[in-house]
Amino acid sequence: MKIYPLPIVFFFLAISLPVMAQPSFAGLENLFTIPRHYVVCHTTEKPVIDGNISDAVWGNAAWSEPFVDIEDDLKPVPSFKTRIKMLWNDTCLFVAAELEEPYAWAYMQQHDEPLYLENNFEVFFDPGNTTHQYFEIEVNARNTVFDVFLSKPYRNGAKELMGWDAPGLVTAVNIQGSLNNPAMLGKSWTVEMAIPFASLSLGAKPEIPTDGRIWRFNASRVEWQTDVIDGKYEKRKDAVGKTLAEDNWVWSPQGIVSMHCPERWRYLQFSKQIQPADVLPFVLPYGEIQRQYLWLVYYRQKDYFEKNKKYAPSLSKLGIKPAAFEVGGKKNVLTMEATKSQFAVVIQSAENSISVNDEGLIQESGMVVY
């Protein structure tokens, strides 16, 4: 399967859109790069979930680009290569990942231990593309699992639902080398997951993707610097004994050091095609272009609140002129209602309207965007 680049016209909205008094994205460019995308092919044959990703069925899935730092080119290229591939059938999403790693280590063995405090691999799913009600699954090199449901991002005051476990989830790890043995370096470790769509559905009926359906998705790798002390890997500390910060390597860069900004996740498009050569190029939905203006106001409002302890009462207070402008050649109007403690922003065209509120919840009506 070929990974098609996004059309250049969408690369940087503030430059590429027709000039018609559109708001400025200046100063926030790191949050408005277009996320990467991946078209995942359908399969009639299930991979064997044993951590060995050399199954013939995986030959029908393309490897992703190598992971980059969560802040992209603001930080160095990752020391070790990470890549991922995906397939789906009518019941499950299948994930395979390869993590280059000469120093494989993992000590946590209990389900739902905080695996992000060790080296791990993580996947994130927002099937509804609302930035709310999303799922996170982590696994370490011992195949210990951490899975959690979040009603909304941490930035909006969420507390994770640790009682949620992904029903029917199957994971496996294969280590090309040794585990927790500094005397014997290895090559990599590989992960396989079979994630039932029923476990990523909130209602009683599983929500199975249809051909062309788009989810928001991202994958992350947490990597800690280590030293060997008394034959055991220990996280490296600085001169005053403070543990050094971890590296966060991701499939699609977030622009900031937080995976919990679902609006920055990758676009995952489901295709009923089985042969990768038959997959059509990915096309960014029109509604996703409109959403950029909602997030512009959202980020500006959050910055205003941080400085003033209240939200701005008008767009003009945010330096945004409330006027009609063109988005992809179509006339749109951006409006906002706000109090000191809440706000809601709407972008509206002749065909549809989409809104975001102070909790980052996206809602849309009118034209079907996907």
Segments of the chain with pLDDT less than 50: 1-19, 367-370
Give residue 23's pLDDT: 86
- DSSP for 159-185 reads --BTT---TT-EEEEEEES-SS-TTS-
Give residue 6's pLDDT: 34
Give the N- to C-terminal CA distance of the chain in Å, as an integer: 21
**Which tens digit of pLDDT belongs to each residue from 136-189?**
999 999 999 999 999 999 999 988 898 899 999 999 999 999 999 999 999 999
Give residue 302's pLDDT: 98
Give residue 277's pLDDT: 63
Give residue 366's pLDDT: 60
**Which tens digit of pLDDT belongs to each residue from 278-326?**
677 788 899 999 999 999 999 999 999 999 999 999 999 999 987 789 9
CA distance linking residue 58 with residue 95, whole number of Å: 10
Residues 328, 17 contacting (CB under 8 angstroms): yes
Give residue 211's pLDDT: 93
Q: Which residues lie across from 92 on neighbouring strands?
A: 196
pTM of the model: 0.90
Give residue 280's pLDDT: 74
